[in-house]
């Protein structure tokens, strides 16, 4: 058996071993707040990975939909998505040296901000089959960019099958702020759902002392609302684990985990 196949088998086993940790579709803009008085180009990356652990990053098929809503108007941006190669592991991950030449497909797009408004970017990916958990994962993800100080429209529902409606403005946040969100599945609030919270550990400075600290977990209340205090600055992802029915795969029905995801950025307090 060649070295290439051995490496691929090892990577597959590693993905299975780590599958108990949270998968996240990341949708991150180059800027979440644009204060410029001139038109501005923002770039967005869409990656399917384990953000706190620096990988492994999974292959991501071209999404079903990618778009933006501003001032109540939706625009289809699927044509603007371009495939990119994203490292399987971050350079600080202990597995990086073994897999440094391995990449996974991710997606990138650019968008021209021309007028004031809160731009809600969203992606509807293809369902991802997770063999270790015997289910499909379907993470519908969004992020909000505030352009030119408009500060309005951030709490408008897009109308996605699964969606987190922020009850706290999802930008201009300080570390320590409380973030609250309302969970809608097929347009209705859903109580008693788990919400996984994970930090994008981009530089590897955070070292969780136990596996249970990689992903934080809160639950929605009777009204479908959850809350979480942001402990430090950076990008934070919130993923609500919902039920999306079943999907037949190779002649067998499997459950669909229908997740609503939102990403927010917190800024450090000045010393």
State the pLDDT at residue 36.
81
Under-50 pLDDT residues of the chain: 3-19
Please state, in angstroms and rounded to a whole number, the distance separating the CA atoms of residues 41 and 22. Answer: 31
Please state, in angstroms and rounded to a whole number, the distance separating the CA atoms of residues 194 and 223. Answer: 14
Are the CB atoms for 127 and 136 separated by under 8 Å? yes
Q: Does the pTM of the predicted model rise above 0.75?
A: yes
Please state, in angstroms and rounded to a whole number, the distance separating the CA atoms of residues 123 and 64. Answer: 8
State the pLDDT at residue 153.
96
Please state, in angstroms and rounded to a whole number, the distance separating the CA atoms of residues 184 and 25. Answer: 18
How would DSSP label each residue in the chain? Answer: --HHHHHHHHHHHHHHHHTTSPPEEEEEES-SEE--SS-EEEEEEEEEE-TTTT-PPPP-PPPSEEEEEETTEEEE-GGG-EEEEEESS-TTSTTHHHHTT-EEEEEEEEEEE-SSEEEEEEEEPPPEEETTTTEEEEEEEEEEEEETT---STT-----SEEEEESS-SSSEETT-EEEEEEEETTEE--S-EEEEEE--TTS----SSGGGTSEEEE--TTSEEEEE--SSEEEEEEEEEEEEEEEETTEEEEEEEEEEEEEEEEPPP-
The tens digit of pLDDT for each residue in 164-184 reads: 999 999 999 999 999 999 999
State the pLDDT at residue 194.
97
State the pLDDT at residue 37.
74
Six token digits for residue 218: 């809160």
Q: Count structural domains, the chain.
A: 1
Q: Which of 194, 170, 185 is nearest to 121 (CA)?
A: 170
State the pLDDT at residue 82.
99
| 181 bridge partner residues | 166, 226
| 140 bridge partner residues | 260
**Can you give the residue range of the structural domain that contains 18?**
3-267
Longest dimension (CA), the chain: 60
The length of the chain is 271
For strand 82-87 and strand 103-113, is the pairing parallel, antiparallel, or unpaired? antiparallel
For strand 65-70 and strand 117-124, is the pairing parallel, antiparallel, or unpaired? antiparallel
The tens digit of pLDDT for each residue in 217-243 reads: 999 999 999 999 999 999 999 999 999
State the pLDDT at residue 132.
87
State the pLDDT at residue 3.
46
């Amino acid at each position: 058996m060649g070295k290439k196949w051995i490496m691929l088998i090892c990577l597959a086993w590693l993905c299975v071993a780590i599958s108990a940790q949270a998968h996240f579709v990341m949708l991150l803009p180059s800027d979440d707040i644009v204060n410029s008085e001139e038109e501005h180009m923002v770039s967005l990356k869409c990656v399917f990975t384990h953000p706190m652990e620096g990988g492994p990053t999974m292959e991501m098929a071209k999404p079903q939909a990618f778009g933006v809503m501003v001032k109540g108007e939706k625009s289809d941006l699927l044509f603007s998505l371009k495939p990119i190669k994203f490292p399987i592991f971050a350079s600080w991950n202990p597995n990086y040296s073994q897999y440094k030449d391995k990449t996974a497909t991710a997606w990138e797009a650019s968008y021209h901000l021309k007028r004031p408004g809160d731009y809600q970017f969203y992606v509807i990916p293809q369902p991802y089959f997770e063999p270790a958990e015997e289910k499909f994962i379907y993470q519908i993800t969004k992020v909000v960019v505030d352009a030119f100080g408009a500060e309005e429209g951030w709490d408008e529902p897009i109308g996605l099958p699964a969606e987190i409606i922020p009850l706290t403005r999802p930008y201009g946040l300080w570390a320590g702020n409380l973030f609250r969100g309302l969970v809608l599945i097929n347009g209705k609030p859903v109580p008693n759902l788990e919400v996984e919270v994970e930090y994008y550990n981009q530089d590897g400075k955070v070292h969780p002392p136990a596996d249970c600290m990689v992903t934080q977990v809160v639950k929605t209340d009777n009204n479908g609302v959850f809350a979480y205090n942001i402990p430090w600055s950076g990008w934070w992802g919130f993923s609500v684990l919902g039920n999306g029915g079943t999907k037949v795969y190779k002649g067998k029905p499997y459950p669909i985990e229908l997740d609503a995801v939102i990403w927010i950025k917190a800024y450090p307090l000045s010393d």
